[in-house]
Amino acid sequence: MRCEDGHYYVVKFQNNPQGVRILANEMLAAKLAQTLGLPVSQPEVVEVSDWLVQHTPEMYMQQGRERSPCASGFQFGSRFPCDPLTTPIYDFLPDAQLDAIVNRDCFCGMLVFDKWTCNCDSRQSVFHRPEGDSARYVATMVDQGYCFNACEWSFPDAPLRGLYSRQAVYNTVRGLESFEPYLERLENLADDFLEDAASSIPPEWYRGGTDELRALLGELAKRRTMVAEMIIACRELASRPFPNWRSNGRSDA
């Protein structure tokens, strides 16, 4: 959707099949990732009018044979990282082209983030070429809806979770130092930042469940110092996502 600020957004609606909390997850996760300096799509609250829904036949949800109009009101918007009418955007690059990603180190940063937030989906990213550069790509991290175990707001950690499917992006990992400065930034977040990030979520996106949201923020605060050990657990996977891990930095053994 093109919004009044002139930008294009992928919009998730409150009556999406995954549940309304997905919108809260997207907003909270994007705000947290931005604070760590990660290249996520800019999140916004998008107000959709009744008139627009009623006069746009394409705005509907389909579940099986049932079709219903998209909800009006406050929805979640994820800004396109480029103009989709003029710049191609890709959701896949072959391994041979991964070296052409100018911000490839951010995949390590996103693993820090996805472990912290218990993203139960694989890491999703899209790519576009910077204006005037035909040889390189910029990665933008998208789709944070399954952080916090989707609508469950729990943390069933597992070593495979959060890894990007093209594991060649981790070939430069030599040890925990390869995940800096993101680990340090996470561990040193200001105590009040979680509350500030959560304040941007419209209450209808979590049905006014203030106590549950507060419990989620409390668990996130406690998990900030646990991420390094989670990454070390990834190293032991049979798929060997970090084949060039060599060092024994931090608490690595």
Task: Report percent pLDDT > 70 for the chain.
Answer: 97
- Tens digit of pLDDT for each residue in 114-124? 999 999 999 99
pLDDT at residue 249 above 60?
no
Which residue type, as a one-letter code, is found at position 251?
Answer: S
pLDDT at residue 253 above 50?
no
CA-to-CA distance for 216 and 148, rounded, in angstroms? 8
Reported confidence tier of residue 134, pLDDT bands at 50, 70, 90: confident
Q: What is the DSSP string of 117-144?
A: HT--S--EEEEEPPTT-SS-BEEEEE--
